[in-house]
Chain A
Amino acid sequence: DTAVSQTPKYLVTQMGNDKSIKCEQNLGHDTMYWYKQDSKKFLKIMFSYNNKELIINETVPNRFSPKSPDKAHLNLHINSLELGDSAVYFCASSQVVRNEQFFGPGTRLTVL
């Protein structure tokens, strides 16, 4: 009965490859997010979806493309992976009114 789940937990891949990370929440929240946490542990928002609609799209390379098939799912596809993409990617969800966010366990992406 995990609240926010992500798959995979670890992702090791070569430069230039394409990969996807999946996120699901069973909290009934209407808003979902993708965050990137770099090696300095700084947590930065990338995208936010409210009721399947993109509401926040930070300055992120267009190699990153989020997709929300429904309110409970938010996936992240990354094309042409680069070394600088190595980080931990967190999915989170909230009710937009209070914005108390619940985070998934994270996906550690390593690009070689």
Chain B
Amino acid sequence: QKEVEQNSGPLSVPEGAIASLNCTYSDRGSQSFFWYRQYSGKSPELIMSIYSNGDKEDGRFTAQLNKASQYVSLLIRDSQPSDSATYLCAVSLRAGGFKTIFGAGTRLFVKA
């Protein structure tokens, strides 16, 4: 079983719609959860971090964490063509340091 699983997509949504990206993780001891955005040919960029159960909102982005279900999601409201990228879910464990495991990423296309 992969440690961090994401649907590879592509996920295609029309401009202005809500994009919903999902991630599950296997280690119940995971403490920190992140969403990174990676444009083609560029480096990953942190867009959201979440550390406790519930929702965290930042502008058009909302991260949701459910530790009981081992589930993290990212909602992007009013999706824009510039949101088209690969979204990486990342989970940090504590094993002599903060080891971060990345999912394989979900490709998002926002159609104008």
Q: Which residues of A contact B (CB under 8 A)?
A: 31, 33, 40-45, 48, 50, 55-56, 90, 94, 96, 98-106
Contacts of B86 in A (CB 8 A): 41
| Chain A interface, DSSP helix/strand/loop, else mixed | strand
Are A100's CB and B96's CB within 8 A? no
Contact status A99-B92, CB under 8 Å: yes
B46 near A50: Cβ-Cβ < 8 Å: no
Contact of B96 among A56, A98, A99, A102 (CB under 8 A): A56
Note all chain B residues with C-beta closer than 8 A to A101: 34, 44, 46, 90, 100
Q: How far is the CB of B85 from chain A (nearest CB, A)?
A: 12
CA distance A106 to B39 in the complex (A): 13
B46: chain A residues at CB < 8 Å are 100-102
Within 8 Å by CB of A99, from B44, B100, B104, lies B100
Whether B96 pairs with A55 at a CB distance below 8 angstroms is yes
**B97 partner, pick from A56, A103, A105, beta carbons under 8 A:** A56
A56 to B100, CA, bound (A): 10
Kindly identify, within residues 75 to 112 of chain B, every residue whose CB is under 8 Å from any CB belonging to chain A.
Answer: 86, 88, 90, 92, 95-102, 104-105
Q: Whole-angstrom distance between the alpha carbons of A98 and B95 in the complex?
A: 15
Count A/B pairs, Cβ under 8 Å.
56
For chain B, give the interface size range: 20 to 34
Known: A99-B32, A99-B92. A44 touches B43 (CB 8 A): no
State the Cβ distance, A108 to closest chain B Cβ, in Å: 9
Determine the chain A residues whose CB is within 8 A of the CB of B49 once the complex forms.
98, 100
Task: Tell me whether A90 and B100 are in contact (CB under 8 A).
Answer: no
| Closest-CB distance, A60 to chain B (whole angstroms) | 14
Closest Cβ neighbor of A55 among chain B residues: B97
Q: Is B55 an interface residue (CB 8 A)?
A: no
Chain A residue contacts of B92, Cβ below 8 A: 99
A6 to chain B, nearest CB (A): 9
Distance in angstroms from B37 CB to nearest chain A CB is 11
Q: Find chain A residues with CB under 8 A from B96 CB.
A: 55-56
- B27 at the A interface (CB under 8 A): no
A98 touches B32 (CB 8 A): yes
Q: Which of B18-54 contact A (CB under 8 A)?
A: 32, 34, 38, 42-46, 49
